[in-house]
Every structure is written in C-alpha cells, then in structure tokens.
Structure 1
C-alpha cells in the first residue's frame, strides 16, 4: 500500500466531495469543503499509488490546539487501514507542529471510529447531548482529546 499524505489543494476537491457525500449521512456542502485556506487550516488528502484521493482530513490549528473537523475514507476501502493511517498522520502532524492538544467529536453511534480514536490515545472528556442530526432525531457527540506532553 503506497500512500502519500499531501496538503489539500483545489485540484482534489471533486474527489474529496465525492467521498464526503458517500461517507457521511449529513455531508458537508461543497462550498464548505472548498474553504481550504481558512484560519489555522491544516487539511490533508491521502493519495494512493494511482494518484486517487482515498481519504482526507480537515483540521484547524489555533495556538497549539488542533481540532480535527472532518475525516473520511472512501467507503469501499473501509477496513483496510486507511482510517488508522489518516488519524496517525494527523497526530504526527500535531507533533511536528508542536501542538499542545488535539480535539475531535464523534457521533455516539460511530463505534468503529470511537474505538480507533481510543486505540491511538484519544480520551473521552465530555458529550454534547443531541448534537448531531439523524434520520429519526438526534444523537450525542462524544468529545475526545489527546494531550501532547
């Protein structure tokens, strides 16, 4: 598995949007995804050996506190280690940027993602009750953090 993690550029947005709409029940809009140069932006794409985007993350680094805003892997590639590669790359980026902490939120129903974040060292610190919309109501967001010492 030859993979490259690269900075998100305009040329990748169509592929990112395709993954976004397949991977999430409530995907970000294209206009939100195309804002790649916002304050503290550190967005990355994961490129395979065929030069195709297979995953990505959007993150924001404000004064050493990095928030993972969005992360996804092409659904047909789930279970092949791409998600783990992305989250570990995110943490490596945080270390190289000398971050003090990393934060994320995960849907309470997303057990696979929660287990992955827990396995790489994130800790659950709080919940936002009824934060995420679902098809039949709302569900909690689990807030997780990772502290760099």
Structure 2
C-alpha cells in the first residue's frame, strides 16, 4: 500500500466525491447530503494515494461520542488497506474532538466492511431493521461501537 495523504473535503470536491460514491454504492449519498455535512462542520475528509483520490469519509462528533456516517473507497482501489487507513484517520479526528466512543451502521450484507470495522476494534451492539434502502426493498443495518479511550 502506498502511503495515503488526507485533506478536508470542500464543496468544490463534490463532483469527484460523487463519482467515487456512485461507483461504490447501489444507493449512494447525494450532493445535498455531502454539502449538509460540510456546512454542519462534520469531519469530512478525502484520502489520496499520490495525486489520485481513492476515498472519502464523514464523521460527526459531539458530547464525547462520534458517529461514522460514510466511509468509501473507490472500487478499483479496494483491498489495498486504504479503508483501514481512512478509518484510522477519521477515528483520530474523533479523538481530537474528545470523543470517547465511536458508532456506525453498516449494511448486514456488507461483510467486507463489517470485517474491516471488527479488525479496527468495533463490535456489533445491535441491529436496525429495514434501515437501508435496497434493490429488493429494505435491508437491516448492523450497529457497531468502538471505544476510543486507550
């Protein structure tokens, strides 16, 4: 894996962010969702391998908790450790904002992502029934949590 660099997402990045988002997901976030996250002061980051954008992530943090809202790696860049590195960067931002615990939801069918989160230290703490839109209707989300206190 080549070393990643990170920078904050800006509104001018949204065309490139949406290209990655639409390539990676059957039900991608919209421009409006990303714009709301940027304007709300969430931790919105881009990941680069060299000069190529390989992923992005969004995290909210408040009242000693953080919530991973989006973690996306370009399909052709997956399997190179970029997801783990981006997750680690976002969790570092959560710690900077005094979060003691992180939460996330992941599609029950997305076992690759669930394994990534487990490797980082997240544990399944629940399930949200019919949380995500899916091709055939709705899909459950696994709710996961991770302590950020060393």
1:49 CA drift (Å)? 1.0
Query: Counterparts of 1:10 and 1:133 in 2: how far apart (Å)?
Result: 26
1:63-93, Cα deviation, whole Å (9 max, x unpaired): 2211111110111111111111111111222
Residue correspondence of structure 1 range 23-38 to structure 2 within 5 A: 23-35=24-36, 36-38=38-40
- Counterpart check, 1:111 vs 2:111: yes
Question: CA separation in 2, counterparts of 1:90 and 1:34?
Answer: 18
1: CA distance between counterparts of 2:68 and 2:33?
15
Query: 2 CA distance for matches of 1:31 and 1:120?
Result: 30
* RMSD over aligned Cα atoms: 1.3
> What TM-score comes out, normalization by structure 2 length?
0.92
Query: Could you list the per-position Cα deviations for residues 28-65 of structure 1 after superposition, in whole angstroms to 9, with x for gaps in the alignment?
Result: 11121222121x51111102212x32101011112221
Tell which deviates more after alignment, 71-80 or 27-36.
27-36
Query: Which segments of 5 or more consecutive residues in structure 2 lack a partner in the other structure?
Result: none
Check conservation: 1:12, 1:53, Cα contact below 8 A: no
| Distance in 2 (alpha carbons) for counterparts of 1:103 and 1:22 | 25
Native 8 Å contact 1:102 1:146 kept in 2: yes
Query: In the aligned structure 1, how far is the partner of 2:14 from the partner of 2:97?
Result: 25
Give, in whole Å, the separation in 2 of the partners of 1:28 and 1:2: 27
How many residues are matched?
147
